[in-house]
Amino acid sequence: MSLVRTNSASDLSSEKPSIVEIEEAVEKPVVSDRGDDNGRISENIADSEPDHTEHPEHISKDELRRIHRKIDKRILPWLCITYLVMRIDINNVANAAILNEEAGDDIKTQLHLSPQAWAWVLACFYYPYGFLEPLSTLFIKSTTPSFWIGRIMVTWGIIVCCIGAVQNYQGLLATRILLGAAEAGYYPGVIYYLAFWFKPEELALRIALFYSFGQVSGFVGGFLAFAVSFADGSLPGWRWLFIIEGIPAILMGFMTFFILPDFPQTAKFLNEAERKVVIERLSKDAPTKTAKTWDRQQVIRLFLDPTFWTFSAVWFCHAIGGFGLSFVLPTVIYQLGFTTTALSNVLSMPPSLGAFVLLNILGWLVQMKDWNPFRVAIGLEVTNIICYTLLLTVKTTVVRYLALLVSTSTAGSVYPILWPARVKASRGTTAAGIAIGITNALAQFQGILGPQVFLSVYGPTYRVSFLTCVGLLAGAVIFIAMTGLLMGESLLWIHPRNRNRNRGDHRQPLESDDRKDASS
């Protein structure tokens, strides 16, 4: 199916330029006077356009790469940095849990928190975070991406700083709940935002790069926690940790208002011809600025689509089975037998780097080499199950730590590998926003149930915890396979898909309500 809109007779008679005129009007590459440090990663991504991508007539692949490179330079570096800051602020509570525990200056001791109370501190963030995600995602469209993402960052930074001033359990619960409400919509909003600029098959490496910066947050957060543990001042280390990590979010939020471009239609860094190319080569069912934000028929079709439910099941099972461990990783490492909490925070850093490297390699393979994302995701889940089995059966500390390292790396790669397929399965601006928001909301069960599964009372072996995760990951494998089959993907061989064959889809194209709205 061609993804380029065919001009009707009325279109041909209008004053809009044809695609040939667009080609002739596209400017020659302009060398940026700001240097190319910010653009090196984005240039590599633009150079790795998949061979199966269809281009508008008479637009060469080199020209398309140049346009994508311009977009990547403006969008990706800033999104990656802001996501890194966000994940540091979300995960810092895991580092704070054991910070200066030997000296009795840790957050649990000072606020008199039981294991059950601490589990609720971790979980309460995710109730408003998950509940508000679908609505907050649509605000990306109804306002502007620069405003909404900037607003999210400013409010979450202020609240993180406030956590450093809480005096009791009730205050900590209240600030964590407010933090969840403030941060809701950032991650799914970015996925939704990218769908306004790129085709689903062009998202794999971009989402992998973006998401991998969140994985690096474990490394940066562990390093900051290690450094703060030696601080000798008027405040305990855990209070300094929240204050230090909250301030950058506030500053970067205000900067986002001015740095982040909104939609292709209003992108001033592109000329008119380039904007036309970006807009017209997208699928007719892709999200678009000119469509109405809410379309009831799209929502009905979304809930009748079986892939909506299978994707949701995958996200739920992996949230707890794959990610539940991440919220207590420093504690689990500490209980493996390493002598100090400072060392445990340091040892929580390598798994984050492993996830960063693995995710970018897999994103490159899926986009450049056309690897089947469903087969890749199944392989990751099976690897995770093997690691949990080792944790259940092996007593050697080093082997158990290595299993934690591998499982954390593989768990962090499943969602971003499947996100392009999740975007592709949604039809229309409203459906895409709701589908992305709800799907990501289900991932928040990692924070709601994950700490409950890994309660410290199950330590130091965490046998019950790992058995629970193995069962959930087995369910994730089944639902990933079902989703792939529903979308017409073959799961019977391991080599990359034939690039020359037409990719299957479980539905026929729908009439585009968005394009009708755009022309009205």
Q: Domain of 394: which CATH number?
A: 1.20.1250.20
Confidence of residue 100 (pLDDT cuts 50, 70, 90): low
Q: Does residue 53 form part of some domain?
A: no
**Is 205 a member of any domain?**
yes
pLDDT per residue over 365-408, tens digit each? Answer: 998 888 899 999 999 999 999 999 988 888 887 888 888 888 88
Q: DSSP letter string over 165-189?
A: T--SHHHHHHHHHHHHHHHTTHHHH
Please give the residue that has the higher pLDDT: either 25 or 460.
Answer: 460
Residue type, 487: M
Residue 39 lies in a domain: no
Cα distance between residue 421 and residue 374, in whole Å: 9
pLDDT digit string (tens) for 261-294? 999 999 999 999 999 999 888 877 778 877 777 8
> DSSP 3-state assignment of 433?
helix
Least confident of 109-118, 134-143, 223-232: 223-232
User: Residue 519's pLDDT is what?
Assistant: 40
- Domain assignment present for residue 241? The answer is yes
According to the model, what pLDDT value does residue 486 have? 92
The two structure tokens encoding residue 445? 């069960």
Task: State the pLDDT at residue 307.
Answer: 94
Q: What is the mean pLDDT of residues 21-30?
A: 43
Say whether pLDDT at 104 is over 90: no
Whether 463 shows a pLDDT value over 60: the answer reads: yes
Structurally, the chain folds into a number of domains equal to 1
Whether residue 497 contacts residue 512, with contact meaning beta carbons closer than 8 Å, is answered with no
Q: Which domain holds residue 76?
A: 60-267+277-494
42 band by pLDDT with thresholds 50, 70 and 90: low
Q: At what angle do helices 373-393 and 414-425 cross, to 10 degrees?
A: 150
Give Rg (Cα) of the chain: 23
Element (H, E) at 309: helix 306-321
Is 511 exposed, middle or buried (CB count within 10 Å of its CB: 0-12, 13-18, 19+)?
Answer: exposed
Q: Do the domain assignments include residue 143?
A: yes
Q: In a 3-state reduction of DSSP, which class is residue 135?
A: helix
Q: Is the pLDDT of residue 11 over 50?
A: no
Other beta carbons within 10 angstroms of residue 378's beta carbon come to 19
In angstroms, the CA 215 to CA 80 distance is 11
Closest to 178 measured CA to CA, from 141, 138, 124: 124
What average pLDDT score do residues 410-421 get?
A: 90
- Residue 479 predicted with pLDDT over 80: yes
Distances in Å between the alpha carbon of 268 and those of 25, 74, 271, 272, 366? 16, 11, 7, 9, 31
Both structure tokens of 437: 């928001």
Q: Is the pLDDT of residue 205 over 50?
A: yes
The pair of three-digit structure tokens given for residue 427, joined into one six-digit string = 């039809």
Give the pair of three-digit tokens for residue 314. Answer: 């995958």
Residue 190 has pLDDT above 60, yes or no: yes
Q: What is the pLDDT of residue 45?
A: 64
Closest CA to 414 of 326, 284, 497: 326
- Predicted local confidence at residue 248, as pLDDT: 93
One-character DSSP codes across 65-124: HHHHHHHHHHHHHHHHHHHHHHHHHHHHHHHHTTTTTTTT-SHHHHTT--HHHHHHHHHH
pLDDT of 342 reads 61
Q: Could you tell me the two tokens for 359?
A: 């995710």
Which residue, chain included where needed, has tokens 């060469």? 60
Position 10 scores a pLDDT of: 39
490 lies in some domain: yes
Report the chain's terminal Cα–Cα distance, integer Å. Answer: 25
**182: closest CA among 155, 160, 163, 164?**
155
**Does 28 map to a domain?**
no
4 pLDDT exceeds 80? no
Q: pLDDT for 493-509, tens place per residue?
A: 544 444 444 444 444 33
User: What is the predicted pLDDT for the residue at 25?
Assistant: 45
Three-class SS state of 313: helix
pTM listed for this prediction: 0.78
**Residue (of 41, 91, 100, 125) closest to 349 by Cα position:** 91
* pLDDT at position 46: 60
Helices within 373-453 (DSSP H only): 373-393, 397-411, 414-425, 429-442, 445-448, 450-453
pLDDT average, residue stretch 428-442 = 90
Tell me, what DSSP letter sits at residue 14? S
How many Å apart are CA 186 and CA 193, to the nearest integer? 10
Reply yes or no on whether the pLDDT at 333 is more than 50: yes
> Are the CB atoms for 136 and 184 separated by under 8 Å?
yes
**Per-residue pLDDT, 77:** 95
Instruction: With CA atoms as reference, report the closest residue to 347 among 325, 332, 327.
Output: 332
What local confidence, expressed as pLDDT, does residue 508 receive?
39
Query: Does the residue 32 lie in any domain?
Result: no
